[in-house]
């Protein structure tokens, strides 16, 4: 009888129910459905992990960008400080040069005044002796 039913496209399963589909194909279909559901669940889990990973990476990227900008700012400050020190050094060097020039001028003037004093003292001494 089961062969006659199969010819008509009807099948009897393990618990003696009448089916339109071959029980082996039905079992394989159910197994495939379960595997597909399992795959879909794993895919959803992977998608959640990927989204979380993306958030983490974006946060790290933001942190890296902040640190990069801070480092650039610090580097610029250091360059500015170096330029300021160099400008100050040049200013001090020019002041030292000016003071050295003034010192030389004052030394020359002092020597001149010593000669003048010496000459005047000599004139005074000569005048006092001649009197």
pLDDT at 27: 79
C-alpha 83/C-alpha 69 separation (Å) is: 21
SS3 31: helix
Residue 16 has pLDDT above 80, yes or no: no
Specify the residue for token string 């129910």: 17
- pLDDT bracket for residue 54 (50, 70, 90): very high
Which residue segment(s) compose the domain that 112 sits in?
1-130
- pLDDT bracket for residue 17 (50, 70, 90): confident
Query: For 19, phi and psi rounded to 5 degrees?
Result: -125, 155
C-alpha 64/C-alpha 75 separation (Å) is: 16
- pLDDT bracket for residue 8 (50, 70, 90): low
Give the mean model confidence (pLDDT) for residues 46-57: 97
Residue 10 has pLDDT above 70, yes or no: no
Query: How many domains is the chain partitioned into structurally?
Result: 1
Global pTM?
Answer: 0.50
């Amino acid at each position: 009888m089961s062969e006659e039913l199969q010819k008509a496209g009807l099948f009897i399963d393990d618990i003696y129910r009448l089916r339109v589909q071959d029980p082996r194909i039905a079992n394989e279909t159910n197994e495939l459905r379960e595997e597909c559901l399992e795959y879909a669940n794993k895919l959803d889990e992977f998608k959640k992990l990927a989204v979380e990973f993306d958030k983490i990476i974006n946060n790290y990227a933001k942190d890296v960008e902040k640190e990069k900008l801070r480092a650039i700012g610090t580097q610029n400050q250091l360059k500015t400080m170096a330029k300021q020190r160099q400008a100050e050094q040049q200013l001090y060097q020019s002041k030292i040069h000016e003071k050295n020039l003034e010192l030389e001028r004052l030394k020359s003037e002092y020597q001149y005044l010593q000669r003048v004093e010496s000459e005047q003292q000599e004139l005074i001494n000569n005048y006092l002796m001649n009197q």
